[in-house]
Chain A
């Protein structure tokens, strides 16, 4: 299998029998499959960007752009210094914690799973909640779990746990302190680390 075959498969110009053989090769070669998947997503992304206008593909460089970029860089650096100084002087309560052997049982529990088309969003009980995230996890891998607050189409990440191991091939557990969350809409974003795989979102409400 080579790049030409990937191109043929992505463009749909491969015969059905060849496509089936190609797909079986993908199943037997996960790293090759990832390469193909990136190609599929690149094509999808380009189509999406171009769906409104193709201006981004044909723009020319402007010297002014670099001035704006430099100014933005300075602002970002100043913001970062202010943020680090500020956070290092303020005690931060723990909102989300990993589940380890000696973790507290929690006041309540909640299971989250992705169900397409569902129109109900679960509510987080009060107190310390043990949250079981249901999905397909690979036992040997680490996952990151980010807790986002959603406000007016904007997502603010308020807590992140890295290097989490699933408790089984079907679940990964975390603890969330409901008392620390304001009422509103939240999501847990779970992503396999050191991979380009898409994160999965598990939405819930804090009443």
Chain B
């Protein structure tokens, strides 16, 4: 689909064009997920909340007073998402200190929250499927070194006796296959409770 510039989207939304609002969601949602995934520490529920909240704020703003420079709509949406992520983090910090902070520290393992487990499960299933398919132990080890241990490419190539071209090719193949697995199987998210409204 064609990309519609921010200025045109802003004008159409201000004029009440509902299809432009859908287009804005289509264009910005993937980028907002990238931005907020980095800022929500793997909490998928929070990520979804903040993506939706950002889009609603941007759409409401465009329906109303508009923004100063419609050409910079993407930058405006990105900054809105960052502000919401910061506010959410502050709120979480406040809540943590409002309760017995020592007990929270003792009892809670942030890496094991319900949201996080569910969020990671989907990607983990796809990675497991990918690992099962990779014929060479070397390729699996390469992924571990690169993504888990953050080793430098050169170091991995040296250790596994790979040329840079072979490394890039294997990594690119693994990325492509991971994406295919997710697209084909569409692993479900089961971390959010729903509410009748």
Interface residues of A (CB under 8 A from B): 9, 11-12, 19-20, 23-24, 26-31, 33-34, 36-50, 54, 56-61, 110-123, 134-141, 144, 146, 148, 155, 168-169, 187, 189, 191, 194-196, 198-204
Contacts and interface: CB of A to CB of B under 8 A. Distances in A.
Interface string B133-149: 00101001101100110
Among A33, A40, A113, A146, the one with the most B-chain Cβ atoms within 10 Å of its Cβ is A33
B74 to A, nearest CB: 4
A26 B140 contact: no
A146 B186 CA distance: 11
Contact of B189 (A46, A138, A198): A198
Given A30-B30, A118-B195, A187-B194, 20 more contacts: A26-B34, A27-B32, A27-B74, A28-B27, A30-B27, A36-B34, A42-B127, A43-B147, A45-B123, A48-B120, A48-B124, A56-B128, A58-B140, A58-B141, A113-B195, A114-B48, A118-B193, A122-B195, A136-B55, A198-B187
B183 A195 contact: yes
B22 A169 contact: yes
Contacts, number: 225
Contact of B120 (A44, A118, A139): A44
The binding surface of chain A is classed by DSSP as mixed
Contact of A134 (B33, B75, B187, B197): B197
Contacts of B143: 46, 57
B121 to A, nearest CB: 7
Contacts of B193: 114-121, 203
B123 A120 contact: no
The 5 closest A-B pairs by CB, nearest first: A122-B196, A45-B123, A27-B31, A45-B127, A26-B31
Interface string B33-65: 111011000101110110110010000000000
Contact of B194 (A26, A30, A41, A204): A204
Interface stretch (B98-106, B157-165, B174-182): B174-182
